[in-house]
Chain A
């Protein structure tokens, strides 16, 4: 479409691309409106400038400082991990733990999903494979008690990181959201200033519901960043743009497979590139 003028047909095509990437209706319309405005103001003049214009715009949503994992000044850095059922929490914890321990940090993981069948076994297998210590109770135990013991162990072992796995829960389940608040309160009490990061794991194939997830989990436990899992498929995970736009929550990592090494720091340029590829 060399030299093609910016007309309604072209904007329709763009709308299809953005919506198909799960940016959502509102965010898509907002971007297209901004594009229209820039065209009117002669900031852009031909169709060739559209994609670079949008890339630049979207990329700037995520400044570098937003993407780094917080670190406590002293004592263990606590990373609390939460999300809806099956989004990829436990696997993402294995990846994160592997990443941190490979970088020479001492990592402890806490098996606070005492609800789902064999969730404790799943994290135990991962902890063995990646060579980090796990703190666990039996299935059915109180997750807050596991968190308490894990904090104590992390302090006693002089761990650099404590990563807390929690049971999957839908954000609409009030009592389960309360349980999460309780886990957070326990770590804050045992390790002042913690959790240093509260990571929401979002399945990269999720559509508009991820906005409600981000909103409700943030309301309960102040999410500090997103781990965008399962980006190795054909879904692009564009919903994180709407989440950034509406709730200002940054993305920290992406998951690209089922193995511990299938993790990458979130790279806005690559991410935006993929949206338009």
Chain B
């Protein structure tokens, strides 16, 4: 769909010889192309602006080796910077001992929390742990049933109760997990908008009551410019430990990954790549950089 950035760069740099340095005069057009690529990938406007400023500084004066074209040198700098920003790589879950390790998932409506809860339960079990899930979403019609169905599919117990009090359900779920000797407890919370104070209070109360060891923000990779606003607010209210990016099996360029990382500073732990339980992968910053750039 998009002309690759390499092609665009090469045409921008065509007029230049294969030698010399990257200079003010030959970098401007190229950086415009980089900025355009980032914006087309939904990287937030301000984040893209800052990124371009930083790359420009890093690139100015960079030595261009005989065999390389300036465009190739610049693209490498761009890619490396982007990879560095989205890193470090690492999907390890930090398990506490004695257990259970409590993991809470939060995020906007429909981003993929409930599906991801089941995927994670399946994943931690593959690491030899005994998982349990707790249905803390008391809002969405059939949310409990959804988690229960997924739990049955993978044979992982789901704690749920008929209630309007999510703090109470979360606490009882934790108690139940301890009784069952679970190593990992995954809390599936209701979707909520970051501007909804009442629901943001609710989720932070659930966190206070259960002191999760890990709180992950689940983020839809198709999200646009607003990703910075929601991620920032969730991070302020919950002190996130990481991010899980979902729906990467489509063709979204996924610039939200960079935006969210830039405003929260929290690592991206996993990538959701489908609707099935096994569609959870480790997150690779270098691949994501290439994807955002459309290369």
Interface residues of A in 125-140 (CB under 8 A from B): 125-126, 129, 139
Point out the residues of chain A lying under 8 angstroms from B150, CB to CB.
Answer: 117
Chain A residues within an 8 Å CB radius of B225 = 19-22, 207, 235
User: Residue B253 at the A interface, CB < 8 A?
Assistant: yes
* Alpha-carbon gap, A19 to B222, bound state (A): 16
| B217 on the A face (CB < 8 A) | no
The A interface, classified by DSSP as helix, strand, loop or mixed, is loop
Asked, given contacts A172-B250, A234-B229, whether A239 binds B224 with beta carbons under 8 Å apart, the answer is yes
Which residues of A lie under 8 Å from residue B222 when comparing CB positions? 84, 203, 206-207, 209-210
Q: A232 contacts which chain B residues (CB < 8 A)?
A: 193, 195
Residue B186 is within 8 A (CB to CB) of chain A in the complex: no
The verdict on B256 contacting chain A, using a C-beta distance below 8 Å, is yes
Cα distance, A24 to B224, chains bound together (Å): 9
Asked if A88 and B110 sit within 8 Å, CB to CB, the answer is yes
Asked whether, in the complex, the Cβ of A170 is within 8 Å of the Cβ of B247, the reply is yes
Compute how far the CA of A193 lies from the CA of B223 in the bound complex, rounded to whole angstroms: 36
Which residue of chain A is the closest to B199 with respect to CB atoms? A258
Hey, which chain A residues are within 8 Å of B247, CB to CB?
84-86, 170
Q: Is B241 among interface residues, defined by CB-CB distance under 8 A?
A: no
Flag whether A77 is at the interface (Cβ < 8 A). Answer: no
Q: Are A25 and B224 in contact (CB under 8 A)?
A: no
CB interface residues, A 166-187, toward B, < 8 Å: 170-172
Q: Determine the chain A residues whose CB is within 8 A of the CB of B223 once the complex forms.
A: 205-207
> How many angstroms from the CA of A117 to the CA of B114 in the assembled complex?
10
Hey, which chain A residues are within 8 Å of B148, CB to CB?
A: 118
Taking the closest CB of chain B, its distance from the CB of A185, in whole angstroms, is 24
B108 cross-chain contacts in A, Cβ below 8 A: 205, 230, 233
Judged by a CB distance under 8 angstroms, whether B4 is at the interface is no
Say how far B127's CB is from chain A's closest CB, in angstroms.
24
Across the two chains, which residue of chain A brings its CB closest to B221? A209
**How many A residues have CB within 8 A of the partner chain?**
43
Say yes or no: is A208 at the interface (Cβ < 8 Å to chain B).
yes
Q: Mark B237-279, 1 if CB is under 8 A from A, else 0.
A: 0000000000101111101100000000000000000010000
Chain B residues with CB below 8 A from A171, complex form:
250-251
Q: Which residues of B contact A207 (CB under 8 A)?
A: 42, 222-225, 252, 255-256
Counting CB contacts under 8 A, is B109 at the interface? yes
Q: Tell me how far the C-beta of B261 lies from the nearest C-beta in chain A, rounded to whole angstroms.
A: 16
Q: Report if A122 contacts B (CB, 8 A).
A: yes
Is A66's beta carbon under 8 Å from chain B? no
Chain A residue with Cβ nearest B149: A117
Q: With A207-B222, A207-B225, A208-B40 as known contacts, state yes or no: A20 contacts B251, CB within 8 Å.
A: no
- Given the interface contacts A85-B247, A205-B224, A235-B226, does A118 sit within 8 Å of B109 by beta carbon? no
3 smallest beta-carbon distances between A and B, as pairs: A207-B224, A86-B110, A207-B42
A to B CB contacts below 8 Å, 13 in the list: A19-B45, A24-B39, A24-B40, A25-B36, A85-B112, A116-B146, A118-B149, A170-B251, A206-B222, A206-B223, A208-B224, A234-B226, A234-B229
New contact pairs (13) apart from A21-B225, A206-B222, A209-B222, CB-CB < 8 Å? A16-B45, A24-B39, A87-B110, A115-B275, A116-B275, A124-B142, A170-B250, A172-B249, A205-B220, A209-B42, A233-B194, A236-B226, A258-B140
